Amino acid sequence: MERENSYVSPNVDLEDGWGDEGSYEQSMERQASVQSAGIGGAGVEKEEVDKNGFIVQKLENIEKTQWRIVRETNETLGLTDDQSIILLRAFKWNTEKFQDKWLSTDNHSKLLIEQGLEFDQKIAKSFPYVNATLKSANQGYCQICYSQFNSTNAKADSLKCGHEFCSGDWTDYLSARVNQGFQFCISTTCPQHQCNMAVPHSMFVKYLTGADLKTYQKWFCKSYTDDNKKVRWCPFAGCDYCVIYKDGGIMEVNCKCGNSFCFKCGQESHKPSDCDNTKQWNLKNSAESENITWIMANTKDCPKCNKPIEKNQGCNHMTCRLCRHEFCWLCTGDWKEHGSATGGYYQCNKYDAAKKSGDQTILSKEKKIDDAKNELKKYMFYFERFNNHHKAEKHAKELLPVIQNKILMLHDVKNYPVGELNFLEEAINQVVRCRQVLKYTYVHGYYIKNEMELNLFQSMQEMLEKFCEHLHELIEKPLDPYLDPNIIERTPFYRYRDEQFARGR
């Protein structure tokens, strides 16, 4: 395959590639220089698999993995970069499935035509004008900008289909597609109407520059990560790390951005609650359903116009503000039927009588309201505590830089060895972790049906809560007293530390 541009693809087997902190451009430059030195075989990779069996990587490293797969496919099947990329994408980056398909069929051109890698003669036949705008037929004019091809700035270029356009128009066209978004970018075809030739990777790299090229690289990577079940982006805002699942059963990822999330569902870490319950809970927190429960618990519908009414004061004689209908709050019957006969104007013995006699309609209505009220109470109980831990977790996270600063100060002012101060950071991290777990214990608890299980769970929850609160309290204590340079005695500080150790563990 001919390469006209110095940067086509990053090489995969870089010796110093991993853990590189350099900027994207720098790494691109470096990749380009390695590229020009020639392509070697796939080398041995250094992968940092964390204790949970995940590899947390930056965007450019993901790209390297992606290119390794492309290269391997090239070597096995004798394809070019462009062909492998488009075909692999069609098979959702499932190399085995693609190779099986490729090796089990002789009709490769059918596969290539389907993916827009070969020109489909059938289309040219059924849409004659697809052929009519080839260079020979369009009198030497570019079909996009209408300048003549042999004029100064219009160098013609085309895909395999032969539909030629000026290089400047290619740039404009591809830039427009890239900026329209991911879906548009990866489905880009030849600008000729009805021509289904796919625009390959090399074409984008050839004509795009600067921000457009960067955006393209992003989409290119996304085409790999989004279709791949073993890859997931960190869901936290502003984090561009990507996580590859290697093996092992733990689905919890500690991302390098400091947050942790569940690999299975992509939500924030939610141990001990499971994915489904957590999802349901989050939905509950955000959805209208709770409003509806409240409305059910605290309002009755006007019997005439069916608008919900909340009774916040006054007697049982209700007058609907909307339709002026007068009714009794207790039995929702017409007020006209109420009077001395029903036990006085402000009493409703109809209601009591119905209740006594066991009128099913009234009783079932009552039960519904009671259930809703209880459900709402239960939910409010759990939500309040969930929210409380959520806020505490946030505060603890905010405390981390403060503590780190204090560690430095204690080291500078009082000459404590750094090793002896690390417990402070450990403690704050422990608090964050505990808060996170505690937060989701309330989700878990909310969905527990078995009473015995619930009792056991609650006592454990209580214990964790107690220790966590204590540790949190200790870590929030001002460290300033220990910073006084005039006091040389270190015992109080060590006592403080030992207390933390004793409580925190």
Determine if 133 is a binding residue for another protein (CB under 8 A): yes
Q: Give the pair of three-digit tokens for residue 324.
A: 């002026």
Q: Give the pair of three-digit tokens for residue 216.
A: 């393209």
Residue carrying structure tokens 């870490």: 269
Determine if 143 is a binding residue for another protein (CB under 8 A): yes
Known catalytic residue at 315: yes
Q: Which stretch binds another protein (CB under 8 A): 12-20, 180-188, 346-354, 387-395?
A: 180-188
Identity of the residue, 130 or 205, whose beta carbon is nearer to another protein in the bound complex: 130
Determine if 172 is a binding residue for another protein (CB under 8 A): yes
Q: Give the pair of three-digit tokens for residue 160.
A: 């395999």
Q: Give the pair of three-digit tokens for residue 242.
A: 């990507």
Residue from 53, 140, 162, 168 touching another protein (CB under 8 A): that is 168
User: Is 261:269 a contact under the CB 8 Å cutoff?
Assistant: yes
Q: Which stretch binds another protein (CB under 8 A): 183-191, 247-255, 269-277, 430-438?
A: 183-191
The contact mask relative to another protein for 187-226 (x = CB under 8 A, - = no) is: x-xxxxx---------------------------------
CA angle 439, 435, 262 (to 5 degrees): 65
Determine if 126 is a binding residue for another protein (CB under 8 A): no
Determine if 163 is a binding residue for another protein (CB under 8 A): yes
The size of the interface with another protein (CB under 8 A), counted in residues, is 23
Q: Which residue in the list 190, 195, 262, 315 is annotated as catalytic?
A: 315
**Rounded Cα–Cα distance for residues 219 and 178 (Å):** 8
Identity of the residue, 184 or 501, whose beta carbon is nearer to another protein in the bound complex: 184
Question: What is the dihedral sign for C-alpha 222, 226, 229, 235?
Answer: positive
Determine if 495 is a binding residue for another protein (CB under 8 A): no
User: Is 475:431 a contact under the CB 8 Å cutoff?
Assistant: yes
Residue from 49, 137, 176, 211 touching another protein (CB under 8 A): that is 176
**Rounded Cα–Cα distance for residues 325 and 81 (Å):** 76
Q: Give the pair of three-digit tokens for residue 162.
A: 């032969």
**Rounded Cα–Cα distance for residues 302 and 332 (Å):** 8
Determine if 157 is a binding residue for another protein (CB under 8 A): no
Identity of the residue, 77 or 144, whose beta carbon is nearer to another protein in the bound complex: 144
CA angle 116, 119, 121 (to 5 degrees): 125
Supply the residues annotated as catalytic. Answer: 315
For binding to another protein (CB under 8 A), which residues are involved?
133, 141, 143-147, 163, 165, 168-169, 172-173, 176, 180, 183-184, 187, 189-193
